Amino acid sequence: MKLALLFSPFIRMANSVKRTVSPRIRRFFEPKPSDHKYEPGTWKNDSAVQTKYGMVDGYSDKGTWCWKGIPYATPPVGELRWKAPLDTVPWLGTRKTRRFGNSAAQIMLFLGPTGSEDCLYLNIWRPKSSEKELPVYLYIHGGGNSIGSSATSSYFGNAVAKESNLLYVSVNYRLGAMGWFIHPAVTGRGSPEDQSGNYGTLDLVKALEWVRDNIRAFGGNPDNVTIAGESGGAFNVLSLLVSQTAKGLFHRAIVESGLAFIWNIQDAIAQSHRLLVALLVKDGKARNEEEATQLIGKMEEDQINTYFRSKSAFTITRNIPTMDFGMAEWRTLFADGAVLPEEGYSVFSAGEWASKVPIIIGCTKDEMKLFGFFRNDPPLNTPEYDLVWRYHSLLWRANGVDEVATRMTTNSDVPVYAYRFDWGSVDDSGLSVLPGNKGRELGAHHAAEIPFFLGMGVADIAMLTGKTHTKQNQLGREKLTELCMTYLANFAKTGNPNEDSLPLWPAWDNTEDNDKVLVLDADFNDLKLSYLKERITVQAVFDLINSELEETQRGKVLAMIDDFIPFRKQIGESA
């Protein structure tokens, strides 16, 4: 049964991709290119909008206006693969924007290749009203920067637009080795951005530039833009905060379950070399890795460049090892010195990052139980399961929330609002609002907050986990959804989630005994909010493991942690 459930969200995403018309047919019906740009229009409460690049026509969608599949950059194909994105080409006539654009090229678990390298499209929802200068809420989808799409129902903007009175934008961007790739023979020429390897990051910058130049035509305010994202999307929000290329393009940031990792250039080149070796062996040009390495030593740079570019995105992706949910074992976000600083996230401690804007940052209490649920290692509902994924989840919070918030507020006065999302977690009495054993198996798992923050109801991830939203927990769940959306709407409008009628959400305070984290939770019928004063670090989690566990248990837990790739580097520094 669990395996059948596993297919459902991927089938949904695949169907959304299949519903898009093939590129060849679409080009026949789309407006022809133009050799000049236009003056963006003014908002008239209508589906037809004049952008800088041409006219778009959207449609009415559940009390909102909606535009899907608007190109924000030239397709990064052919010679533009592994290059910084370029402005989209203007068009003549009216472009119908009623279908999602292509998702990024990726290999979906069980279902195989989907999407396209031609993937740089965004979507917009806004209230049906004549109101102008609406705050803009730009959402970056998750998926570990190797899978995912903005075209899944969890990320639709109907509720944010209608209930919060915001203009909502979602965006696709290059993923995996198409979005983050450095090899001297391939990326060693061109502008600093072309050589950076951070193409997925630059796609998001280009989307923000498009918003700056065009969003007033939709009634949005380009001087009040909030960027938000969960998981891989949150990794990208953190990276945009430190990127000089994104400076001035957004004014608030929301980081949901992010991790603070930026990899060095040597890591990037090494993984590209491993990919080249794998491709040569797969092609039969070498019998093994040793022969492939010898062959590479004899190849000219132009030969390597031509060889890489001759491979489809799907061929490249197939030759990269995978992890949980089919995510590629491919490091992204490189400290190149042009797009992302060579110092990485240490710029937070120095108070010298590019965009010092108000920030909401947080995680779920049981982040890693989602991964444990499908690994079933250790087996579900055993003491070992509880131990392993408890410590994994604490490490996620330490790296992705507490240490980041501490650094950000050490040498700056930027307001940082931290949360922990607890809905679904087992309480001190061993009870959970989730049905059956789901409280112990999943709890407040990775991505559990998305339907509460975006208001779209049951998340796509529920197709993987089984039903967690029930009639029994509906009343408390709806109250928590309303509270979360109100906090985030206030934050997008003013940079502060608070208002007089709401429970106080305190800003992070490094003082030892002061409240630091707001706990978002509800029981079956009512809100259940609380505050955390403690600050945890990666080192403190390892100290806890060493003090709480006997040697046999400790070895098991540490081995499982070491298997989770994002923590390997920091484990070596902290354990």
d(CA 239, CA 147): 18
Residue 548: φ, ψ to 5°: -90, -25
d(CA 350, CA 412): 9
361, 401 Cβ separation under 8 angstroms = yes
Whether 231 is catalytic is: yes
Ordered DSSP codes for 234-276: HHHHHHHHH-GGGTTS-SEEEEES-----B-HHHHHHHHHHHH
Whole-angstrom CA distances from 221 to 83, 251, 452 are 30, 11, 25
64, 125 Cβ separation under 8 angstroms = yes
CB-side neighbour CA atoms (13 Å) of 103: 29
d(CA 252, CA 269): 33
Cβ contacts of 335 within 8 Å, gap of 6 or more:
262, 263, 264, 265, 341, 342, 343, 344
Q: How many CB atoms lie within 10 A of CB 86?
A: 13
d(CA 246, CA 126): 24
| Tokens (6 digits) for 546 | 């060493």
Ordered DSSP codes for 372-428: HHHH--SPTTSHHHHHHHHHHHHHHHIIIIIHHHHHHHHS----EEEEEE-TTS--T
Choosing from 16, 170, 196, 231, the catalytic residue is: 231
Our measurement of the distance from residue 10's CA atom to the centroid of its chain's CA atoms, rounded to an integer in Å, reads 17
Query: At what angle are helices 301-310 and 265-282 packed, to 10 degrees?
Result: 70
Residue appearing with tokens 């945890």: 536
Closest CA to 174 of 12, 27, 54, 317: 317
Residue 119 burial (CB < 10 Å; 0-12/13-18/19+)? buried
* N-term to C-term CA, the chain: 39
Residue 277: φ, ψ to 5°: -60, -45
The residues that are catalytic are 231
